[in-house]
A = this chain, B = another copy of it.
Amino acid sequence: MSASSGLPPRPSVGVSTMLARTVQMRGSHVGVIFGEEQRTWSEYADRVASAAGALRNLGVREGDRVAILSLTNMPYFELLAAVPHAGGIVVPLNWRWSVPELLDAVADCEPTVLLFDHTMAAAGRELAQARPEMKTVALSEGFGDLPYYAQLVADAEPVADAGRGGDDVYQLGYTGGTTGRSKAAMLSHRNVVSEATYCWAEGFLREDAVYLVNGPMFHAAGTWPSLSIIGSGGTAVLMAQFEPLEALKLIEAHGITETLLVPTAIQLMVEHPEFAAFDTSSLGKVLYGAAPITATLLDKASAALPHSQFIQCYGMTELSPVCAVLPHAFLEGEHRAKGRNRAAGRAIPAVQIKIVDENDNEVPRGEVGEVAVRGETMMLGYWRRPEETAEALRGGWMHTGDGGYMDEFGLVYVVDRVKDMIISGGENIYSTEVENAVASHPAVRQVAVIGIPHEKWGESVHAIIRIHDGVQVTEIEIIEHVRTQIAGYKTPRSITFFDGEFPVSPANKVLKRELRRPYWEGRQKAII
């Protein structure tokens, strides 16, 4: 029996109910710090109610979008709770995007209000001009002609919470556009609350955390930990954007206990010439994501941060975002000897992961297929894209587009993007594995491996290579080198030397579809 219509409505958990609990338990605890400013959770909640009043005064009504184009700062952190309190949907815009990309996004989501800071003034003004029906607010002082956020909040009466929660949309998360025009994942209140509670269950972002928010707010790496800290009643220390020396200063100054870093950022920190001058002993947990950590970097980082556990988080915006975590134990001892440190992680609580073939049937343990995920953290769908939603969520599972396999511990190993896998003579070949082998040749500066059409094998392995300035190398030399690294059938059959820059996405990922296009004109690649 399902809950029938005769039953009372279900309680509606959301960002506001999480904050209410935090204020109840931890009202006098310092909740957020940015530069010289700090607020207790009670002060934060008061600001949120007034900021929501200001948004209502600007015309924000139930379900309206409120777009934000700004580096991380105190008002941004307020808006994460103030927008839903006012009844709205948070739309963090990507400040790395070009103006045409931003214009596309605001045309897509039609925000009632846009807020931007001084660092985004030029783009913000262009958006305002292009979309005059949108109210525009400056988050920073000094834009005399525009309403100033802090003044609007000071002038506004606090308002009652709009009561959004459950399956109401909390946020539109525009996803990185390596596959054409960006689309926005609709994350519900239940999505983000579930994600927060599952992370607490995994042992991080809890009430005792002093968390350094260094990821941009337009990325889940910024919003997700921020919301989780709002829910747990820990402390969030904000950085406008990541910078290794500043991060070290903040770790020491505030006794940061946890932060999420991409491996490159870990490297920048531990290799920083002034690293040793800072006390980083408070940093008990380093979450990392976006890429597995290499054994070399792990060893270096572990030596530099002997008090830290390193915990990988794997996911994507559509999954709120983390769906798998690799506990520190898998980086050590027998697990490491067996290469389990290379795994992306295993399912977080109440989330399910399976590996499926092209017909969505689960493949046996150890075989490669597409990583599919479901749970309370799975997005509602893409904003105003029913077809892409139906495709991504077919069968009720989010199809990540990642190719991978699962071992006997439920650990998922990502081998490639599904669309970048090459099938040659019936064998699956993972472009990333081939790329690693090619890149180990000293002449190679950058490489992209793709499948190109082949009459007999379906596809054949092809490497596109940029070489270092002033070196000389032949196709044969590269191929012979690669053959010493990986199996013959994975070795490139052909090589192109590429001059100039590879085409990249706004998120700086190589656009392999652009590289593949000339070879596939008028044909259909086996897996897309």
Contacts and interface: CB of A to CB of B under 8 A. Distances in A.
Interface in A381-432: 381, 386, 389-390, 393-394, 396-397, 406, 408-410
Contact of A20 (B9, B13, B352): B352
A231 interface: yes
A8 B393 CA distance: 7
A10 B394 CA distance: 11
A198 interface: yes
Nearest to A9: B396
A389 B7 CA distance: 8
A374 B21 CA distance: 11
A324 to B, nearest CB: 10
A522 interface: no
B188 A381 contact: no
A130 B177 CA distance: 67
A473 interface: no
Interface string A364-386: 00000000001110101100001
Contacts of A147: none
A169 B6 CA distance: 14
A197 B377 CA distance: 13
Interface in A166-213: 166-169, 188, 193-194, 196-198, 200-201, 206
Interface of A: 1-3, 6-13, 17-18, 20-21, 24-28, 62-63, 89, 166-169, 188, 193-194, 196-198, 200-201, 206, 231-232, 346-347, 349-353, 374-376, 378, 380-381, 386, 389-390, 393-394, 396-397, 406, 408-410
A230 to B, nearest CB: 12
Contacts of A89: 1
15 contacts: A1-B62, A1-B89, A1-B168, A2-B168, A3-B169, A6-B386, A7-B389, A11-B374, A11-B376, A18-B350, A21-B347, A21-B350, A28-B408, A197-B201, A232-B349
A350 to B, nearest CB: 5
B410 A193 contact: no
A197 B13 CA distance: 15
Contact of A17 (B7, B27, B352): B352
B8 A169 contact: no
A409 B296 CA distance: 45
A9 to B, nearest CB: 6
A381 B197 contact: no
A329 to B, nearest CB: 11
B201 A21 contact: no
Among A3, A169, A350, A389, the most chain B Cβ lie within 10 Å of the Cβ of A350
Contacts of A408: 27-28
Contacts of A17: 350, 352, 375
Given A89-B1, A197-B198, A351 B8 contact: no
Contact of A350 (B2, B6, B24, B197): B197
Nearest to A327: B207
Contacts of A27: 408
B8 A406 contact: no
Nearest to A23: B410
Contacts of A28: 408
Contacts of A2: 166-169
A353 B22 CA distance: 11
A477 B353 CA distance: 70
Nearest to A8: B393
Contacts of A206: 201
B231 A349 contact: yes
User: Which of A3, A26, A28, A389 is most buried by chain B, counting CB atoms within 10 A of its CB?
Assistant: A3
Contacts of A410: 21, 24-26
Given A1-B169, A196-B349, 20 more contacts: A2-B169, A10-B167, A10-B376, A10-B380, A10-B396, A11-B376, A17-B352, A21-B349, A21-B351, A21-B352, A24-B346, A24-B353, A25-B409, A27-B408, A28-B408, A197-B198, A200-B200, A200-B201, A200-B349, A201-B206
Contacts of A8: 381, 389-390, 393-394, 396
Nearest to A395: B8
Contact of A193 (B21, B26, B350): B350
Contacts of A347: 21, 24-25
A27 B380 CA distance: 31
Nearest to A1: B63
